[in-house]
Amino acid sequence: METPQVPMPKDARERDILERLTAIRDQLLLLKMDRTKYIRTQDVMVLYDQLIEQVKQLNAVRHGANKSENRLDKVLESCFQLISLFFMTIGRTSEAPAAYSLTSTIKRLLDHLTEAGLFSAKDLESMSQTLNKLTGTMKNAELKHEPYLVELLSNRVDLCKSALDNLQKRLDRLGQPLPAIHEKLISILRSMSLANTKAKFSTSEVQKLQDQLKEIDNSRVDGKFLAPDGSVAEGSDKVSDLLERCLQWSQVVLDRKGVIPENFRPTYEVLIGIRNDLDKLSLTQAWSLRETDLYDYQRQLDRIDESRIDGNWLDDEGKPAELYAQRTLLYLIRRSYGYIYYLMISSEPVSEALLPIYNQLQTLKRCLLEVKGSGGVSSVRELYPYSMKLNSIDNMRVDGKFMVGNDIPEGQGSVSELLAECFELNYELRVAAEHEAEKEAEKEATAPENSEKIEAH
């Protein structure tokens, strides 16, 4: 396990704590890599308690003083990242420790959005909602968790909120109709960057995006965007600058056709691999993701991101990356952090051990809702497969609990609630089908009477 080269602690007591933290980190890594069994809550909590004990000892040694960062701080940060992802894996997504890794990712994203000055209202809205949830989590966290950890996480949330507010203020300065145009430009820019990093470059795809930019450009009057009343819209110059950046980038992409300079090809290949892996996980995460897997991707991205000097990468000869290579690498890093953020907020409040059952129920619920939305079933018999599957899952419970061996995994409430919803949907469909069958039977019963009356006449 690589840790960035930083000085060892000078204090002998800190070196002792570092040794114990390293042992905890190594145990967490071994637990993360073990695919032979599910991660159990009790295994995670033992290591969490050991970590918190070392944090208490460190606070006693430092007395709250801010010392220059040493290797201990780096290892401690790795421990917190791992513990945070383990809390997600065991289904404790709404507890304070789970917030650590999420706030790290949000902070990275916000730093990149601030640096590039390229962000959309949707980006900020999602992160704002997540940070508000985390604020709520922190309010009751001290009853369960160490005050130091709660204070640390609260400060991280506040730091992210401050950065988010600064970005939001920039968007708030845009007058109508510029917010929608700004959003469209950001979307086009990202689509071009995606096209630029595809395995097979498509000139026509980028040209279509460039045509959209030209269409927006043609909507300006004397180089200005106008408000509905005909005056120059507030923020016109900023959106015009963004439009110019997009037009310039479209031409660069068309000229370079996805060909990265050889001196930055190795970094590009690593980032493409990470981006593609995370993209696949985002499509299959319900069935294939163990949240602790994100740790390795985070570490790789962090190392590449932090290897920049004055915002740019240097090759083996110390030469900085040209604009095209720099922007392409930055896009891949930001896209990858975006995927990690999405995967974290999509983490279900259910232990890894119960996820197979939970995912089956999610699929059953979607199917039942689709059946209901398409008008229901024509006979109760069509519901038999759903009923049999639901009953088989219900019969897995022991004294009302879903057991894995002798363990009672986290997330019992979420799974039971989902099971109840499926039973309710199935019941509604059955009642509706029975009602329709009764109506049909009544029609058939009255039909002979009507025909007899006709014959009598």
DSSP string, 223-268: TBPBPTTSSBPTTHHHHHHHHHHHHHHHHHHHHHTT---GGGHHHH
Using the 8-state DSSP alphabet, how is residue 174 labeled?
Answer: P
pTM tops 0.85:
yes
Can you read off the two tokens belonging to residue 14?
């800190």
Can you read off the two tokens belonging to residue 89?
């894996």
DSSP string, 8-43: PPSSHHHHHHHHHHHHHHHHHHHHHH--SSPPPHHH
What is the SS3 assignment for 397?
strand
Cβ(281)–Cβ(289) below 8 Å: yes
What is the SS3 assignment for 219?
coil
pLDDT of residue 67: 65
pLDDT of residue 3: 43
Residues in contact with 325: Cβ distance below 8 Å, sequence separation at least 6, in sequence order: 260, 261, 264, 268, 313
pLDDT of residue 264: 96
Cα 367 to Cα 365: distance, rounded to the nearest angstrom: 5
pLDDT of residue 153: 92
pLDDT of residue 1: 39
The low-confidence residues of the chain, meaning pLDDT below 70, are 1-5, 64-67, 285-287, 447-457
pLDDT of residue 206: 97
